[in-house]
């Protein structure tokens, strides 16, 4: 058993408990808020203090004063914080930092902190904002060059290196064991990945707020099932067995068990008992898995768009977000449920970011007859465009509440974190252990 695995046996679950405060505590909290506001007014660089508080708790008040005469870092930070909280701030505020030829002033390169903040702000762009795209390329180029020169302050260099690796907007906001053991899937289906702690890591990245502990518990169950079923389709089952399993899920009939091999009976029975009311969503996922398995067994390489269309379901994001929505949406609106049924835009763009990059790269290379490097560049472009569309969704009218929108965004962020250093679950055991331990 790994060190992470031993933690599961020792600590069944680490969940912050929501404390119901009485009126006296509420009044005390209001007093503390006023005190903190006065403290923020007195400190230097209040925007940086605001950013620190925002990263600790996503519900920080939006009380940032606009100062058009501020230096680059202040304007960039203010822009990012406003965009991040749903305000439609125009990109043109950065025109003051351009020369007469319409290019960013080279003298800005001397302000490393300002360049870093502009780089981070550029990732809050939406489609058609060429100025922010230009800002991203300009800052990334010069920050990379500054790192190579090794003349940068060491602490600032650490922040720059961290940002160039993955921007703040794409990162996780924060870094049920008994149930999983009870299913017996890890012991009985030895070919499948037993990744409970990694699966829990996903849920903390998606919904870290203390009051969403039920959502985390349900999402951990969901991702654990997705992992096992994905392995059945990808690794173990024959095409005939996979067709039988898909048919059993479509019919959602316990009597279909007799037709399944023993290892599929175990999985189907556990799935049936755990998520009976979500049958149609599981059917969509299994159909998508079966289509990919059929392609593999028949030696068929799909067209790129054909693969992406199916992968938007097979990555599991629509199912995960439907489960999440049902665990915290109160009340549920008909408009939102209709959007869920049609896999609304924010779910689709989150799915694109999560998507299986190696497979999509292969499909693109086969269709376009290009190099792997060129295909990877195109996939990165798609991911960048998907982020822009997600950013648009944050400032536009939506039938979904803020918690659900944040959940979809955090799912994409967690995917970037998990896939950052490799394929599939993306991270080697040492990195996984370090990140999981940091949560506990």
CATH number, domain with residue 318: 1.10.600.10
Does residue 402 lie in a domain region?
yes
How many angstroms separate the CA atoms of 114 and 159, rounded? 12
Same domain, 136 and 251: no
CA–CA distance, 253 with 125 (Å, rounded to integer): 47
Work out the angle between the directed axes of helices 357-368 and 372-395 (0-180°, nearest 10): 120
> 3-class DSSP state for residue 436?
helix
Q: Is residue 25 part of a domain?
A: no
Q: Does 197 share its domain with 256? A: yes
Domain end position, chosen among 124, 145, 170: 170
Task: Say if 221 falls within a structural domain.
Answer: yes
Distance CA 182, CA 178 (A): 6
10 assigned to some structural domain: no
When divided into structural domains, the chain yields a total of: 2
- Of 231, 356, 380, give the one whose Cα is nearest residue 293: 231
What percentage of the chain carries pLDDT values higher than 70? 60
For CA atoms 103, 130, 206, 288, the dihedral sign is: negative
The pair of structure tokens assigned to 412 is 């994409």
Q: CA–CA separation, 122 vs 137, rounded Å?
A: 9
Query: Highest mean pLDDT range out of 38-52, 66-80, 380-394?
Result: 380-394
The boundaries of the domain holding residue 131 are 43-170
Give CA–CA dist 410/205, Å, rounded: 6
Q: Quick one: 63 and 187 in the same domain?
A: no
What is residue 212's DSSP assignment? G
Tens digit of pLDDT for each residue in 223-256?
777 777 787 787 667 787 788 778 777 777 767 7
DSSP structure string for 261-302: -HHHHHHHHHHHHH-GGGHHHHHHHHHHHHHHHHHHHTT---
Among 170, 196, 213, the domain-final residue is 170
Total-model pTM: 0.51
Same domain, 219 and 338: yes
Claim to verify: residue 202 and residue 159 sit in the same structural domain: no
Last residue of a domain, one of 136, 170, 204: 170
Report whether pLDDT(1) > 50: no
Q: Kindly report the backbone phi and psi dihedral angles of residue 253, in degrees, each rounded to the nearest multiple of 5, phi listed first.
A: -125, 120
Co-location of 244 and 156 in the same domain: no
Torsion angles phi and psi, residue 94, rounded to 5: -90, 0
pLDDT digits (tens, 9 = 90+) for 19-59: 334 556 567 777 777 777 676 565 555 555 555 545 544 43
């Amino acid at each position: 058993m790994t060190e992470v695995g031993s933690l599961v046996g020792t600590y069944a679950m680490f969940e912050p408990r929501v404390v119901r405060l009485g009126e006296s505590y509420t009044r005390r909290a209001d007093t503390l808020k006023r005190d903190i506001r006065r403290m923020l007014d007195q400190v230097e660089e209040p925007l940086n203090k605001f950013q620190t508080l925002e990263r600790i708790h996503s519900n920080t008040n939006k009380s940032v004063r606009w100062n058009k005469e501020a230096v680059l870092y202040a304007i960039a930070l203010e822009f990012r914080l406003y965009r991040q909280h749903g305000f439609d701030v125009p990109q043109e505020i950065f025109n003051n930092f351009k020369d007469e030829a319409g290019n960013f002033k080279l003298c800005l390169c001397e302000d490393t902190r300002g360049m870093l903040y502009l780089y981070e702000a550029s990732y809050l762009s939406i489609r058609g904002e060429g100025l922010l795209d230009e800002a991203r390329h300009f800052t990334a180029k010069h920050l990379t060059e500054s790192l190579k020169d090794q003349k940068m302050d060491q602490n600032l260099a650490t922040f720059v290196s961290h940002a160039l690796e993955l921007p703040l907007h794409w990162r996780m906001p924060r870094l049920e064991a008994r149930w999983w053991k009870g299913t017996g899937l890890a012991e009985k289906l030895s070919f499948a990945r037993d990744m409970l702690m990694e699966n829990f890591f996903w849920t903390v990245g998606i919904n870290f707020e203390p009051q969403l502990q039920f959502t985390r518990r349900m999402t951990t169950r969901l991702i654990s099932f997705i992992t096992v079923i994905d392995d059945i389709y990808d690794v173990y089952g024959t095409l005939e067995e996979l067709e039988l399993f898909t048919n059993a899920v479509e019919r959602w009939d316990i009597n279909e068990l007799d037709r399944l091999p023993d290892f599929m009976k175990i999985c189907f029975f556990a799935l049936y008992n755990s998520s009976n009311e979500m049958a149609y969503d599981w059917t969509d996922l299994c159909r998508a898995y079966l289509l990919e398995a059929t392609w593999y067994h028949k030696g068929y390489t799909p067209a790129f768009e054909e693969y992406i269309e199916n992968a938007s379901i097979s990555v599991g994001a629509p199912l995960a977000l439907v489960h999440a929505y049902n665990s915290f949406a109160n009340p549920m609106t008909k408009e939102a449920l209709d959007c869920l049924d049609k896999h609304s835009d924010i779910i689709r763009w989150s799915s694109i970011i999560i998507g299986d990059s190696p497979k999509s790269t292969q499909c693109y290379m086969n269709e376009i007859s290009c190099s792997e490097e060129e295909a990877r560049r195109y996939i990165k472009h798609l991911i960048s465009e998907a982020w822009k569309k997600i950013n648009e969704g944050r400032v536009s009218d939506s039938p979904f509440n803020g918690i659900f929108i944040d959940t979809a965004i955090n799912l994409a962020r967690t995917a970037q974190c998990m896939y950052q250093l490799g394929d599939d679950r993306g991270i080697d055991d040492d990195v996984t252990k370090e990140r999981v331990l940091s949560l506990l």
